[in-house]
């Protein structure tokens, strides 16, 4: 099962150095992707952090992805970009990025899955919120395993589940058809 570590150092009151150390441990432990989602950092600091993360996971199979910033990902030598649901179409991005660059997109509904597939250009879809999560406010809608199952059945691309993920839920997520799971808290 593919595992994505989505970063959020502010939520856990970490320094950038602490985050790099945790990412290195996660990569050594088999995490496939580390999605850098540090929205508060100015451009130069984000590029610096991504470069440090790329260096920290060197020699592992982990790829660094930058949330919604292909420019930063390219400048820092990352392996890809993760696009929010409302970001630029992946098909418009493909001609501008290096070969082998991984492109993923967040999706929350069947309609967003259909749109991402019709557009083309994505390598995977990140679907959620599957379960209640500490990263979302109380009452935030969740899809549950039935929603995840429907998303996986609809998508010809690998689907990575996010939202309330734990190691204990990995088998259920896999049984629903997901290729992997992503999380913030489970890796922090």
Distance CA 82, CA 67 (A): 5
Q: Give the list of residues 6+ apart from residue 126 with CB closer than 8 angstroms, or none.
A: 4, 82, 104, 105, 106, 107, 159, 160, 162, 182
Residue owning tokens 């952090």: 49
Q: What is the pLDDT of residues 77-136, one digit of tens each?
A: 999 999 999 999 999 999 999 999 999 999 999 999 999 999 999 999 999 999 988 777
Element (H, E) at 160: strand 159-162
Rounded to an integer, the average pLDDT of 164-186 is 96
- At 21 the pLDDT is 97
> Is the Cβ–Cβ distance between 160 and 179 less than 8 Å?
yes
- At 172 the pLDDT is 98
- At 136 the pLDDT is 76
Rounded to an integer, the average pLDDT of 30-48 is 97
Length in residues, the chain: 188
- Residue 139 reports pLDDT greater than 90: no
- Residue 14 reports pLDDT greater than 80: yes
Distance CA 110, CA 49 (A): 34
- Residue 140 reports pLDDT greater than 90: no
How much is the pTM? Answer: 0.96
- At 134 the pLDDT is 79
- At 58 the pLDDT is 97
Quote the mean pLDDT of the chain: 96
- At 132 the pLDDT is 87
In the chain, domain spans? 2-187
Q: Which fold has domain 2-187?
A: TIM Barrel (3.20.20)
């Amino acid at each position: 099962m593919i595992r994505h570590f989505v970063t959020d150092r502010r939520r856990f009151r970490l320094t950038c150095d602490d985050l790099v150390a945790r990412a290195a441990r996660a990569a050594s432990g088999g995490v496939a992707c580390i999605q850098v989602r540090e929205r508060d950092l100015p451009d130069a600091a984000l590029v610096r952090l991504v470069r440090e993360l790329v260096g920290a996971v060197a020699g592992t199979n982990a790829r660094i992805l930058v949330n919604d910033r292909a420019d930063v990902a390219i400048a820092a030598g990352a392996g890809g970009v993760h696009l929010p649901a409302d970001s630029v179409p992946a098909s418009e991005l493909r001609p501008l990025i290096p070969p082998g660059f991984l492109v993923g997109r967040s999706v929350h509904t069947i309609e967003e899955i259909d749109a991402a597939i019709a557009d083309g250009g994505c390598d995977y879809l990140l679907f959620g919120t599957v379960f209640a999560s500490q990263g979302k406010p109380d009452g935030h809608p969740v899809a549950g395993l039935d929603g995840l199952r429907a998303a996986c059945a609809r998508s010809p691309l690998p689907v990575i589940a996010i939202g309330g993920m734990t190691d204990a839920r990995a088998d259920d997520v896999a049984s629903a058809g997901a290729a992997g799971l992503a999380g913030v808290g489970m890796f922090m």
